Structures are given as C-alpha cells and as structure tokens.
Structure 1
Amino acid sequence: MKKNTRRDLLKIGAAGLTGLAAAGRASAQEEGAGTMTPARIAEAEKLAGVAYTEAEREQMIPTIEDQLTAIQQLRAFEKPNSLAPAQTFDPRLPGKTYPTGTESTLRTADLPQRPVPADEADIAFAPVAQQAAWIKAGLLTSRQLTDIYLARIERLDPTLHAWITVMPDRARAEADAADAEIASGFYRGPLHGIPYGLKDLFDAKGAATTWGAAPYKNTPVKDEDCTIVQKLAGAGAVLLGKTTCGALAYGDIWFGEVTRNPFDPREGSSGSSAGSASSVAGGLCAFAIGTETLGSLVSPSHRCGGSALRPTFGRVSRAGGMALCWSLDKVGPMARSVEDLAMVMWALNGHDSADASSLATSFSYAPMSDFSGLKLGFNEAWRENATEAELTAFDRALALGAEVVEFKLPELPSAPLVQQLLAEAAAAFEELTLSGQDDLMVWQEEAAWPNSFRAIRFLTGVDLIQIDRLRRRWMQDMEAAFEGVDLVIGPNFASGMLTPTNFTGHPCLVMRAGFQETRPRTIFGAEQAPDAAPAQTPVAVSLWAPLFEEAKLLAFGAALEQELGVADTRPVL
C-alpha cells in the first residue's frame, strides 16, 4: 500500500478545504479510494472546529468534490508574485477626512558650518544632512563618499554579512554623474550624491533579486529599476547595492549566512530588514531602504540601534518589490538619525499607478521646537517592564512641552489578525509548498516560513473573512483611540501596539533610546549564551501617529533624539 506523503495530500487538497483531504488520510488509505467520503469529512471537522450530522456529510460530498475540482483549476493557473489580489486594503475609513495633495516639501534644521573630518569613519557616520552640506558646498564629492562606503563594506561585511550584492561599478558611475551635475550648478536636493543600500526584495538594474531565499538565489539579473530606486535616482541618491534580508522577508537568516548586529556580532541583527539595519548602524551606507509587514523595520532597528520610519500603508510604492502580504507590506527608510528619515521620505512619497494599494497624499516636513499645542499619548502601565533606557526616553518625551494624555489600546483580540498575514504569505509562495522547494529554505524551525505555510492551509476561507472583519473593527476603534491624540510614545513590543498598528496601517517611528547590557540573543530576544561576556547593545522606543501624520512623528522624534544624545554612539568594529 503506497503511503501518502505530505505533498501528495497538498496536491489533492484545497485552501481551507485541504483539511478535508489531509484529515482523512488514514481512511483514504484504508479505503483505497480518492473520492470524498463521510468519514473523511468527519475527520476534517475536527480541524475546522465544526460538527455535522451523517446526513449533512452525505449531502456535502458532491459540493466538496466540485470545490476541489475548482481548486485544481486554480492551482494550474499561473500566479506570479506581482499579481495582487483584486481586493486591496485601504487604511482610510469612510466618512473621515484625510490629508490630500501630491506635493512633498522639506525643510531641515540649520547646521553650523563644519570642516570635513580627516577620519573617514567620521565622514561615514555623519548624518545625511551633514554629508549633503559638505557635498553641496564642494567640500566633499559623492565619489569620495561612495568610495568610503565601498571600502567599509569590503572590510566589515565579512563580519556583518549585511550585503547580498554590492554594485561598485554602478555606484561609482552614479556618484560621478552626481558630481558632474552639482559642478554644473544643477542640485537635486539633500540626497544628491548620497549613497544608500536597498533591501534585496526590490529590483535594481544590473543585479539579481534573490529575496534572501535559497530557491531564488540564482534568479536572472534584472534589467530595470523598481519605483523607489527610480525615485531615489531622481533625487540624486547613489545605489551601493543590495542589503541582506531574512529569507522571504522574515528574520535575519538568508541563504548565505546570518546577518549580524554591529554592536554585538555574536548575535543576529534581527529582521527582516536585517542588512539595512546592520549597515546603517555599522556605517556601511548613509541610509537604507527596508520594509515592514509585521516588525521588519522595528525589530532590527531595536536590535541594531538605528532609526526607521514605517509610513502609513499606501504612502510609498511597492512596485518592483517582492510581495509577502499584499494588504500589509510597507516600505520605509532606515538611517542613523531621525531627520535623515525625513529627507528620504521626501523623495519616496508619491502615488504610483503600478501599485494597486498606492495612495496620493502630500508630505511636508519642517523641524519643530515648540510642542505646547501637541497632545502626547502615553500609558503609565508601560513603565512596568521597561528598561532604564526606555524609562529615560519616556520621561524626556513627556517633558518636551506637549500636553500628556492617557492612551488606551482598544480591548480587542489581536492574535487572530496574524493568521491573515500567514494566509496571504502562503498564497504568495504556494508553489514552494506544493513543489517541495520549501525544503531548500535554510531556516526550518517551527517558527520558520515552511512550517507556517503548511499549517495555515488548514485555516478556512470563512475564518479568513471573519479575521478581515475583525481588522475593520480594529481600524474603527484605533481611529477612536487616536481621537484628540497627536502622537503616542511607548515600548516597541510590550505596548501591544506593533501588531494592530501594522494591520490598521498607522505610521510608526522607531528610534534609539539608549543602551543595555545583554548577552547574545535569539531573533526573538531570548538569551542563547548565558555564560558569554556581556555587551552594550542599543534599546529603542516607538512613536505612533494617526494616519498620514508622519511629519509630526519625525519632528517630535528629532527633538527627542537631540534631548537623549545617544544617536551618535558607534559600534566598535
């Protein structure tokens, strides 16, 4: 008697109905038949959490067989990763008014005139605003800055494993072109000539896009740039290459290595924007591009100590990038200082017809020093498990002059929301599961994608719709929670804000708060080497705002960063 394998079962199953086939494996083997039976349905009921009568099971058989036939037709239909669902997520609620417009304006803080340092490390770690001032004044060329970063990548990446593809020829050509334009009097703005890293989920001409995953590491070289690379090129930025990402946008393990935390290379950098966070913190680029579906900007910034902005869902185009979860994926900048994020956001903002979820809205940033008219939300319960660095950041934020108001997270379940992410991700990469190529993935633990993609197929379609209805309720209640609140500050994870604000599409700023003593940790923060010598590693906090209010987030964050005075501390590499 032939034993059915897991993949045999998946081939005869269907989305939520796969459970019917899988749960009835034993009876199918005994009966030696591939047709649906009441016994198989009865076993599947245990997975679906329902109970039917024998007569109801008999009646369902033709309907289920028709459904399975339809699913086979669906699986035979080619579905490239770029094919988005017909239903698209919009974070805006009916009857509410949101900012409109298409313009992006930027005014940064005035910098005192400083000479270019003799030490190249001082140049590499300087804020983008300072680098831009030197380049604009002719005191530093883009080619010089680019060569500094390329040399640092060559020297330090064998330790950090933060780059999948370095593109020195393209970078130097773009730097030379930027210098020529600036010399001729044509200045594109504060990113003109500034080198950056691109998370390897996005296409760039002249490089493969591997998504950090072994099944895709030998994909063909791309012949065009994604939208965000085009936008950054229009602002004059210089592409150094592709930074590492956890395979398929999860974690810090990719097909080549584990990306490391510059402040303690014994541990991973967290992820999935692993290489971007590590490179920013380690001074291997001026800024970088990352993404977040559920923590992929926040977590590595918390671990490595950089700053990152998760924009409102739909503000930044994802066209030309890998889709993990069409209704959740967001693109954002990562840098060493908060105001640098505003400069990158200024270039990235804008509607893109190539992204079905793209929204048209303006972005206008200017520094602020008077926060007397601003209402800052905080929950005193968040102090209970906070580190000293977090407590200091909370106190400094509450003392900046804003009116402090109590903020309460809606009392709704958030765990079911994650099932929607898993279902969309499993759909995006169904072929890996059905073909068995999921076995090629390096990370194979219970928490890794291969296991999650297999297990989520037992979620029913009805339950998935119910989760989406819960998501709508979260949107409504979170809108009410932000009523009369301009900003909220709290811990990245213990606040409970990470999951719901990702699903409601609210913007988030994560920024360095200070340092703590740690020993090497797992990606989820558990100590994995209790006998190892301790290290001083960064701690970050988060700020959240109503939809499309990134400018307030950044202005307040920049002022708080100045008060804390810890953003300039560098790792010893």
Structure 2
Amino acid sequence: MSHSGLHYMEVRELARLIATREISPVEVTTAMLERIERLDPTLHSYALVMRDEALASAREAERKVLNGEALGPLHGVPLAVKDLYWCAGSPTAAGTTIHRNFVPTEDATAVKRLRDAGAIVLGKLQLTEGAFATHHPEIAEPVNPWHPGHWAGASSSGSGVATAAGLCYASLGTDTGGSIRFPSAANGLTGIKPTWGRVSRHGVFALGASLDHPGPMARSAADASLLLGAIAGHDPLDPTSLPEARLVLPDDAHDLGGLRIGIDAEWNSNGTDDVIVHALARVVEVVKSLGAQVEEVRVPDVRTVVDEWQVNCGVEVAVAHADTYPRLAAHYGPALTRLIEIGRETSGMAYQQVLLNRAALRGKINRLMSGIDLLIVPMQPFAAPTHEQLGALAQDPELNARLIQFTAPFNSSGHPAIALPCGLTQGGLPIGFQFVAAHGAEALLCRAGMAYQKASDWHRLHPAL
C-alpha cells in the first residue's frame, strides 16, 4: 500500500486496514518512525523516540493479526504519550532536567491500558517544565507545525505538535489549567479533559494533583473517544479514580436532537478576539441545525477561582516537588520556580479559603449544568497567539489569569470538556472551542463532538508539511 497520506489517516480507518491485513503494523510503524526522523529535528515534539521498542511491539501486533488475535480498534496503531507518563524502562523527564535519568520500572496505568488494547507506543512527547507554563530553558520548545511564530500550546505542546503533524495517530496529554485544550486549539485537534478521576493518575508526574486530568488528544472526536474508552476506568492503584470499571462511549453520532445547549454570550466575549466570537456564532448555528435547543445562560462568576488557580496549583506543585525543591532549585527554570515559591509561601488559612471558593464554584456549575446538557465556551481569549504575545506569561499573573479564564474553572470544578476545532484565523491558523458537560457525562461530550464533526470539516485540515 502507498504511504501517501497515511500519516493523517484517522485511527478507526487505520485500525480497519490493519485488521483486514491491507497494511501491517510493522509497515505503518516504520513509516511513522521515518516521518519522525525526517520532520521532528525541526518540530522538536518528541522528548524520546522509542524506536526499538515500537518496532518490537509492531512485530508482536502483526503476529497477532496473522493469528486472528487482534485486540480491538487500537491494535497495531502507533500512538505517543506526554513525557509525564511512566513507560517501563524508558526515561520520563517531565519536561525537566532533574528527572532526565529517571527510569520507571512500570507503565503508568493509562499507558498499560493502551498497550493492553494493542496500541504501539512510539515514544515520549515534550512538554513544558513540570507541565507548567513554559519550557525549561535548556530544552528545545516544540514548534507549531502551522506556523513557527505562533504558540503550540502548553503544557502538552509535544502531544499537540506530533498529533497535528502526523508524527503519531493520537496521543495522551494532561490538563491542569487547560493543557490538553490549549494545544488542541493551537494545532487544530480534538482533545478531551475528562471528569476528574475518570482516568487514573497512577504513574503520571503530578503538577497539581487535584487539578490534573489525564486525557487523549487526536485528530477527530471519534478517535479521541476510542482512546478515552481504552484508558478510562477505576484503578486500584489510584484511590481517587472513579469507581466505574468501564466507560461506555458511543461509536458514532449524527445529530444533537433533544439536547439543551447553553451559551453565555457576554462571558464568552469578555476580552475575546472577534474571530473567536464569530466562530462561536457559527458553532451555535451548526448545533441548531443538528437539532439542539440553544439557550442563553449565565455562567457563575469564576474570576476569584481563576485568580486563585496559581495559589491552588502552587501549593500542590510544592508538595509534588518536595524531594527536589529547594534542594535542586538551581536546576529549575524561572516559571516553575515562581509557582513553587507561591505555594511554599501560602499560609494554611489562605489555602483553605482557596479550597472553599473552589468548592462553591463547583456547586454553582453543578447547578448550571442541571438545567442544560452542554455548555459552549471558548478555549482561550486569544486566537492563535504569537510567542511575543505570550512572552510574559511566566512572570505575569494577570496575563496568565486571562489566558486560563475559560479553561481553569473546569479544572477546579472537575467537569469534563471536549476541545474541537471550529475555524481559522485570517492568517490560516486554527482556532477552537469547547463543550462542557456535567460530571461523568463524557459519553455526551463524545456524541456532541462526533455529531459536530459530521457537520463541519475543520478537523480535517492539516498543516502543510
């Protein structure tokens, strides 16, 4: 089979070709490794390419196909994971220099579940330092494949770049304040931030434990749904994981009939670039055409919780790094250093007030979601920001609060969201939006994402590489 266009094929289509023996796992893995070797020296999306291990896994996947033992819709499909996830026998640096020689002896639960589903792990994808705002000064930052002058998203930057550039078929990221959704917007991808606890955090380096949401990033809602279905479910190794053993997700969706979808036009347009506001108006027309009832709602005031996100995350990251900071403080970059210091300087009383404010917001969002099925929200106020626009992000709390105003509230509340591409800027760069749902309603998000993508083609656009 010709390899032309193979790298942008959707997971479901590739899996069908593998299952029917029209292409072999070894053939597709080799092609993907060759593409990584050719393009990634410029894009810097991979922290580590696990070439030998990937090829060995591909040979085993091929053996099972030939023996009629295929494991399901991810069997033989080459994926990659953010370098926060443990992979047994491979270094997991978490975007730092201090952990570059840490080699776990077991897979993260989410990685193990991908492997159990037959997926092939190509390697570890680069991220910002410790999964906070900016990359470590000694590590090459992943490059947006649509335009190198623009932000690739954070913190799952490598996951966004590799998936968009056709250097893996889908990937795992994590989202603490927007870190699946930002790179999905920047790279024209679909990403799912699940309900907190839906995906095990065992074997995933923590940024802010109660804010961290592991989840999938892909080139379509159908593919993201496949990955989420594989990795979700209770894990005895993570006692905070939700009790459901398995998440049942739809295989397909064509309409949104019977759904009530809320939109707070005033909140959505608060400091938001016009191109995003106009794109959201088109989203509303699409969901109406799919049978949904759209209602004007009022989102509760999130400003206090957004302003306090750094304090909340700072305390938790200070705990996560207690073994290495301040002992190895000289090896930390400026952004993560500042965040840890915020946490170390916060009093117990101040932190308790943060937690009370967060719990109150969770209750208010629960009340809002009790009257609707989905909420339409921008991903960020800036459309395809340049590096210069976000240059002060690490040191400017006000800029950081503006950036996360539409994402962090749902990390703090734990509500699930799906990020979907919905347009292009005048310069041809992707922009996106998110559907938010009630706790536990990932199946509804996947249905909405798949139906929306039946009526739109934004997710089928790719960077010219």
TM-score relative to the length of structure 1: 0.73
Counterpart for residue 396 of structure 1: 286
**Deviation (angstroms), 1:457:** 2.4
**Deviation (angstroms), 1:279:** 0.3
Which of 316, 319, 329 is residue 438 of structure 1 equivalent to? 329
**Deviation (angstroms), 1:187:** 2.0
Letter in 1 for 2:253: M
Partner Cα distance (1:490, 1:301) in 2: 14
**Deviation (angstroms), 1:216:** 1.7
Counterpart for residue 77 of structure 2: 194
Which secondary structure state, in structure 1, belongs to the residue aligned with residue 57 of structure 2?
helix
Alignment of 1:499-514 (within 5 A): 499-514=408-423
- Answer yes or no: is 1:304 the counterpart of 2:194: no
Counterpart for residue 331 of structure 1: 214
Deviations 1:430-477 (A, max 9, x none): 344422x23323x42xxx111222233222101111111111111211
Which secondary structure state, in structure 2, belongs to the residue aligned with residue 164 of structure 1?
strand
Which of 216, 225, 232 is residue 107 of structure 2 equivalent to? 225
Which of 217, 223, 246 is residue 128 of structure 2 equivalent to? 246
- Answer yes or no: is 1:378 the counterpart of 2:263: yes
User: For residues 252 and 457 of structure 1, do their structure 2 counterparts lie closer, same or farther at Cα, with a shift above 3 Å needed?
Assistant: closer
Partner Cα distance (1:559, 1:370) in 2: 5
Counterpart for residue 253 of structure 2: 368
- Answer yes or no: is 1:294 the counterpart of 2:177: yes
User: For residues 354 and 464 of structure 1, do their structure 2 counterparts lie closer, same or farther at Cα, with a shift above 3 Å needed?
Assistant: same
Deviations 1:514-568 (A, max 9, x none): 2113xxxxxxxxxxxxxxxxx4211011110001111111111111122221211
- Answer yes or no: is 1:477 the counterpart of 2:361: no
Alignment of 1:92-107 (within 5 A): none
| Alpha carbons 1:253, 1:259 under 8 Å: kept | no
Partner Cα distance (1:233, 1:458) in 2: 42
User: Whose Rg is larger?
Assistant: 1
**Deviation (angstroms), 1:306:** 1.0
| Alpha carbons 1:259, 1:268 under 8 Å: kept | no
Counterpart for residue 17 of structure 1: none
| Alpha carbons 2:419, 2:434 under 8 Å: kept | yes
Partner Cα distance (2:18, 2:126) in 1: 28
| Alpha carbons 1:203, 1:320 under 8 Å: kept | yes
Letter in 1 for 2:216: P
| Alpha carbons 1:514, 1:540 under 8 Å: kept | yes
- Between the two proteins, the alignment pairs up a number of residues equal to 433
| Alpha carbons 2:143, 2:152 under 8 Å: kept | yes
Alignment of 1:242-321 (within 5 A): 242-251=124-133, 253-254=135-136, 255-321=138-204
Which of 224, 231, 237 is residue 119 of structure 2 equivalent to? 237
Partner Cα distance (1:326, 1:151) in 2: 37
RMSD: 1.7
| Alpha carbons 2:32, 2:168 under 8 Å: kept | yes
Which of 105, 128, 131 is residue 14 of structure 2 equivalent to? 131
**Deviation (angstroms), 1:383:** 5.1
Letter in 2 for 1:469: L
Partner Cα distance (1:215, 1:398) in 2: 51
Q: Unmatched 5+ residue regions in structure 1?
A: 1-115, 518-534
Q: Unmatched 5+ residue regions in structure 2?
A: 382-403
Partner Cα distance (2:30, 2:170) in 1: 15
Counterpart for residue 162 of structure 1: 45
Identity %: 31
Partner Cα distance (1:172, 1:350) in 2: 28
TM-score relative to the length of structure 2: 0.89
User: For residues 471 and 484 of structure 1, do their structure 2 counterparts lie closer, same or farther at Cα, with a shift above 3 Å needed?
Assistant: same
